[in-house]
Amino acid sequence: MLQGWFIAGSSFAYLGLLFAIAYYAGRRADAGRSVIARPSIYALSLAVYCTTWTYYGSVGRAAASGIGFLPIYLGPTLMMALCWFVLRKMIRIAKANRLTSIADFVAARYGKSQLLGGLVTVIAVIGVIPYIALQLKAVSNSFTILLHYPEIVMPSRADTLPWQKDSTLYVALLLAAFTILFGTRHLDATERHEGMVAAIAFESVVKLVAFSSVGLFVTFGIYDGFGDIFSRAGTSPHLAELLTLHGASAGASSWVSLTFLSMMSILLLPRQFQIAVVENVDENHLRRAVWLFPLYLLLINLFVMPIALGGLLHFGAAGVDADTFVLTLPMVYQQQGLALLVFLGGLSAATGMVIVETIALSTMVCNDLVMPLLLRLRWLGLSRRDDLSGLLLDIRRSAIVAILLLGYSYFRAAGEAYALVGIGLISFAAVAQFAPVIFGALYWKGGTRGGALAGLSAGFLVWCYTLLLPSFAKSGWLPSDFMDQGLFGLALLKPQQLFGLSGLDEIAHCLFWSMLANVGAYLGVSLARSPDAREARQATLFVDVFRVTPAPAGAAIWRGRAQVDELLPLMGRFLGPERARAALDQYARERGVASVDALAADAGLVHYAENLLAGAIGSASARVMVASVVEEEPLGLDEVLDILDEAYQMRAYSRQLEQQSQELSAATRELRAANLRLTELDRLKDDFISTVTHELRTPLTSIRAFSEMLFADPRIELTERRRFLGIIVAETERLTRLINQVLDLAKIESGNAEWHSAEIDLREVLLASVEATGPLFKERGIALDLALPAAAPAIKADRDRLIQVMMNLLSNAVKFCAPGVGRVTVSLKVEAGYLWVDVADNGPGIRRDDQKIIFEKFRQGGRGNDVLTGKPLGTGLGLPISRQIIEHFGGELRVESAPEEGGIGATFSFSLPLATQEVKPT
C-alpha cells in the first residue's frame, strides 16, 4: 500500500487535518472561547522544541555516542526549574511592552535600537537556517526511504540530482505555502496565532505517540523488553562501549557545553520565544509547563537507546544510516502501518518546527530588518501611503518563502556533511549568542546599546568562523585550506583549534571562544560609559517589571506635544484604519472620554499608540514612526533618573502607607478583642458580686429571724432557745467561712495570696489532713483507708495550702457518703513526673453534667444538706479554691465518676509535678 501517491495523499490529509484544527481553534479564539487557554496545551506546544532532530536524530546520535544524546534534553529540564523566574519575567515584559519577537525584545531593552534589532534578526536567520535545512532533509529522506518499501535504500546524495528533480525543494515550497496559510492570514497587533498553537500542541501528541509506538514495537515486539536489548548489546564489544561514558565520547566538556546550549535554546530559539512568550495566554500556565514539558522530554527519550541498539544489532555495518532507524526498523519487519505512522510523526515534527520558526523569523525580518530599511527610503513614499498593513503581510509572506529557500540552499550546500544532530547544534550555538544580552536585559541595568551590539557581533563572528565556515568547508563548498592550515596560513587561526586550543569538541570549542568574546565585549563596552536616558528608562521597564507598572512609568518619561489627528492616521497606516480607530475608541472608553476626538494627546496616549504600533512593526520602528509625528522634547539622563526615582519613591510611600494601614487595622482588631474581654470580665464580676451577696443574705436572714424571735418572745422555753441559738451560731460560722473563702479566692485570683513554699513530704501532708478530719469520720461512722508508698519524693509547695485542699476533698467525701457504710480511700502514687493523690469515696457519685459545674463558684453537687438548717453544707467555693491552689503549683485537679454507667462513688485526683515550679496566676 505504500505507493508514492498513497504516502503523499496521507501527508496531505494530515496537513489538512492540522489546518482544520488551526482553523477551528482560530474561530473559537475569535468568538472569545479560546481552546488554548489551558495550561496543558501550553506545555504541549512548548514541545515544538522536539523537531525531526529529536525524532530521527536522537537515535542517530545515540548510535554514535551512546548517552551523549541526553544533555540536549536534560538542559531544558533543568532550565524549566528556573523558568518560574526567567520565563515569567520575559512574558511579563513582552506583554507590557507588546514585544513580538526576540529581536524586538533585545532592541527594546537597549534603547529601542533599530540597528540592534536588525543584528539580532540577521544572527537568528543565519543561525537557524541550518536547522530548517535539517527539517527539509529529514522529511525528504524519510519520504524517499518509505517510497522504496520493502527495500531499504538510503537516499542518494541530494546534490547529485538536478534541483528540478529534488523532492526536498518541493517539500520546502509546500511548507512555505502551508506556513503562509497558517501564520499570515491577517495582521494581529499582538502577533498571536491561537490556531497555530492548537495545531502545534496536536503535533506534539502525534510525535510522541508515533515515536513511542516504534519504541514499544522494537522493545517488546522485536526484542523481549529493555533487559533483553541491553544484554544482547552487552555481548558485542562495540555496542557495550556505547553503554559507557567512555565509549559515549561524552567527555565532561562536551556534556557541560551541550547542557548549557540546550538550556539557552529552550528560551532563545526564535520559535521557543514565539511559543513560550509571545503565544502565552496566561503566565500561570507556566506552573503546569514547569513539570509537564520536562515529562514530555523524558517520555520521548525513553525508547531512543533501545531503538538505536535494536537498529545496530539488526543492521550492523550494513550501510543503513542510524538517523533512519526509527523508520527502517518497522520497514524491515514489514510493519507498513507503523512505518507510515512514523513518517507522519516525522512530518509533524518537521512542520511544527518549520511553521513556528519561519513565522517567528518572518516577523523579525519584517519588523526589524525590512520595514526600517523601507521607511528610510524616502523615494518609495511609504510614509505617505494610507494603509501599509497589506504591505506588512506581503513582506512576511515573502520572508517565509525566502527563509525556506535559504534553508534549501544550505541543505544543498552542506546538508550531507553532517548528521542531523550536528546541524542542530550549529543552530543552538548561534542562538546561545543571545544569552548575555537577554540575561543582561532581564537582570542588569548597566547594559548599553553599544555593549549589546559589540557583544552580539563579536560572539556571532566567532561562531561563524569556528562553526559555520567549517561546516561549509567540510561539505566542500569552501576550500578546506583554511581549516587545515589556518587563515592566511597562520596555525594559530585554525578555526577549530583557535589559538591552539585543542582537546575540546567543535561545539565546546566554539562555545568557549564565542562566549568569551561575547560576554567580554558586552560587559567591556557597556561599562565604558553610563547608560543614556532612553537606555536607563528601558532598563527600568525591563529589570523592574515586577515592581513598576510599565504604562504610567513609560508614559511619565516623555514630554512633548502631539495631536490625535496625526497619531490616528499613523496607526491606521500600519494597523488598518478601522482597527486603529477601534483601538483608540477603546482607549477613550477606558479613560472615560466620550469620543476619540475629545482625547487629550498627552504622554499616556502617545505611549499607548507607540505600544500598539510596536506590536505591528516592532518597538524600534514604532518609536521612529511616532517621533515623526509628535514634537518630542529630549529628556536628559538626570531628568529621566529623577522621574524614575520619583516613581520609586511614590511606590515606596504607598507601600509604607499600606503597611501602616494594615498595622492600624490590626491594632483596631486587638483593641476590639480586648474590649470584648473586658466587658466579659465585668459581667463575670457583676455575677460574682450578686451571687456573693445572695449567699451572704441567706445566713443573715436566718440569723436575723431567729434573733428577732428570741428578742420578741421572752417566754420561749430553754430547750427551744438553745436550739435557736445553736442555729444562729452555725449560721454565723457559715457566714465567717464564706467570707474567709471569698477573701481567699479573691486573693488567689488577683495574685496577692501569700505562698510559703518549702520542701515538703506529701505523705506527711496526707497523714496530717487525715488526722485533722478524723473526728468527722468517726462522727459519721465512715471508714478511711490510706494507701501510701513507703516513701515519696520531696516536692516544693505550700504545706498549709495543700492541707486546705485535702481537708476540702476529705470533708466533701464525708458529706456524700452514707453514714455507717461509707468508705473513703486516700492513695498516693508517682507517675510520669507527677505525684498523684486520689481521694475515692463510695457515695452516690457525680453525674457527668455536674462534673464540670462543681468546679465553678457557688455551684454545688446538690446533695448532703445541713441537718440543722436544711441548706447545702458547703459554701460552693471549696473546689474552685482547691483547683486554683493545685494549678498554682502546676498540677491539675479533676474528678472521675460514672454513676450513669453503674460506677460507684467519685474519685477526686490532683497532681503535683515533681519539679515544682510555681505558676504565676493569670
Partner 1 sequence: MNRSRLTGSRLIAVFLLGCVLLNYPLLSLLDRSVEFLGVPLLYAYVFVIWAGLIGLMAAVIERPGG
- The only residue of 11, 113, 141, 259 in contact with partner 1, by rule CB under 8 A: 259
**Cell numbers found for residue 82:** 528556573
Report if residue 86 touches partner 1, rule: CB under 8 A: no
| Bridge partners of residue 835, in order along the sequence | 830, 912
Task: Judge whether 445 and 539 are in contact, CB under 8 Å.
Answer: yes
- The only residue of 217, 255, 410, 460 in contact with partner 1, by rule CB under 8 A: 255
Sheet holding 783-787, edge to edge: 783-787, 823-831, 834-841, 907-913, 893-896
In this structure, the chain runs to a length of 922
For the window 203-242, what string marks contact with partner 1 as x by the rule CB under 8 A?
----------------------xxxx-xx--x-----x--
Residue among 530 and 656 whose Cβ is closer to partner 1: 656
Residue among 6 and 85 whose Cβ is closer to partner 1: 85
- The only residue of 122, 152, 181, 256 in contact with partner 1, by rule CB under 8 A: 256
Report if residue 546 touches partner 1, rule: CB under 8 A: no
Residue among 223 and 460 whose Cβ is closer to partner 1: 223
Which region, judged by CB under 8 A, interacts with partner 1, from 76-84, 160-168, 508-516, 782-790?
76-84
Closest to 843 in 3D by CA, of 813, 872, 865: 813
In the bound complex, what is the minimum distance in angstroms from residue 87's beta carbon to partner 1?
Answer: 12
Report if residue 252 touches partner 1, rule: CB under 8 A: yes
For the window 269-288, what string marks contact with partner 1 as x by the rule CB under 8 A?
------------------xx
Closest to 601 in 3D by CA, of 571, 634, 578: 571
Residue among 7 and 72 whose Cβ is closer to partner 1: 72
The CA distance from 239 to 247, in Å, is: 9
Reduced DSSP (H G I as helix, E B as strand, rest coil) percent helix, strand, coil of the chain, to 5: 70, 5, 25
- The only residue of 8, 17, 209, 295 in contact with partner 1, by rule CB under 8 A: 295
CA dihedral 897, 900, 902, 907 (to 10 degrees): 10
Report if residue 512 touches partner 1, rule: CB under 8 A: no
Report if residue 500 touches partner 1, rule: CB under 8 A: no
In the bound complex, what is the minimum distance in angstroms from residue 234's beta carbon to partner 1?
Answer: 8
Report if residue 587 touches partner 1, rule: CB under 8 A: no
Residue among 89 and 801 whose Cβ is closer to partner 1: 89
In the bound complex, what is the minimum distance in angstroms from residue 507's beta carbon to partner 1?
Answer: 16
Residue among 84 and 855 whose Cβ is closer to partner 1: 84
- The only residue of 81, 594, 725, 786 in contact with partner 1, by rule CB under 8 A: 81
Task: Judge whether 185 and 30 are in contact, CB under 8 Å.
Answer: no
Task: Please name the residue ranges forming H helices in 867-910.
Answer: 878-888
Query: Cβ contacts of residue 764 below 8 Å, gap of 6+?
Result: none
- The only residue of 41, 47, 64, 67 in contact with partner 1, by rule CB under 8 A: 67
In the block, cell 498627552 appears at 602
Residues 628-647 that bind partner 1 (CB under 8 A): none
C-alpha distances (whole Å) from 628 to each of 37, 562, 597, 622, 724 are 38, 10, 21, 10, 117
Q: What is the largest CA-CA distance in the chain?
A: 151
Which region, judged by CB under 8 A, interacts with partner 1, from 128-136, 141-149, 251-259, 729-737?
251-259
Residue among 294 and 874 whose Cβ is closer to partner 1: 294
Report if residue 659 touches partner 1, rule: CB under 8 A: no
Task: Judge whether 429 and 261 are in contact, CB under 8 Å.
Answer: yes
Report if residue 245 touches partner 1, rule: CB under 8 A: yes
User: Half-sphere exposure (CA, 13 Å, Cβ side) for 437?
Assistant: 38
Report if residue 313 touches partner 1, rule: CB under 8 A: no
Report if residue 291 touches partner 1, rule: CB under 8 A: yes
| Bridge partners of residue 787, in order along the sequence | 827
The helix (H) or strand (E) run that includes residue 357 is helix 336-364
Report if residue 309 touches partner 1, rule: CB under 8 A: no
In the bound complex, what is the minimum distance in angstroms from residue 368's beta carbon to partner 1?
Answer: 32
| Count of residues that bind partner 1 according to CB under 8 A | 35
Report if residue 722 touches partner 1, rule: CB under 8 A: no
Report if residue 591 touches partner 1, rule: CB under 8 A: no
The CA distance from 670 to 683, in Å, is: 20
- The only residue of 19, 84, 439, 855 in contact with partner 1, by rule CB under 8 A: 84
Task: Judge whether 828 and 763 are in contact, CB under 8 Å.
Answer: yes
In the bound complex, what is the minimum distance in angstroms from residue 298's beta carbon to partner 1?
Answer: 6
Looking at beta carbons, which pairs linking 480-486 to residues 24 or more positions away fall under 8 Å? none
Residue among 12 and 291 whose Cβ is closer to partner 1: 291
**Cell numbers found for residue 606:** 502617545
| Residue type present at position 760 | I
The CA distance from 558 to 611, in Å, is: 14
In the bound complex, what is the minimum distance in angstroms from residue 500's beta carbon to partner 1?
Answer: 24
In the block, cell 512593526 appears at 617
C-alpha distances (whole Å) from 749 to each of 432, 437, 807, 880 are 76, 72, 21, 11
Residue among 244 and 690 whose Cβ is closer to partner 1: 244
Report if residue 654 touches partner 1, rule: CB under 8 A: no
Report if residue 308 touches partner 1, rule: CB under 8 A: no
In the bound complex, what is the minimum distance in angstroms from residue 226's beta carbon to partner 1?
Answer: 5
Query: What's the count of helices (H) and strands (E) in the chain, helices before strands?
Result: 38, 9
Residue among 231 and 740 whose Cβ is closer to partner 1: 231
Report if residue 246 touches partner 1, rule: CB under 8 A: yes
Closest to 432 in 3D by CA, of 278, 266, 252, 274: 266
Report if residue 660 touches partner 1, rule: CB under 8 A: no
CB atoms inside a 10 Å sphere around CB 168: 25
Report if residue 529 touches partner 1, rule: CB under 8 A: no
Task: Judge whether 325 and 339 are in contact, CB under 8 Å.
Answer: no
In the bound complex, what is the minimum distance in angstroms from residue 378's beta carbon to partner 1?
Answer: 51
**Cell numbers found for residue 66:** 551512546
In the block, cell 460506677 appears at 903
Task: Name the residues that contact partner 1, by CB under 8 A.
Answer: 67, 70, 74, 77-78, 80-82, 84-85, 225-228, 230-231, 234, 240, 243-246, 252, 255-256, 259, 287-288, 290-291, 294-295, 298, 302, 305
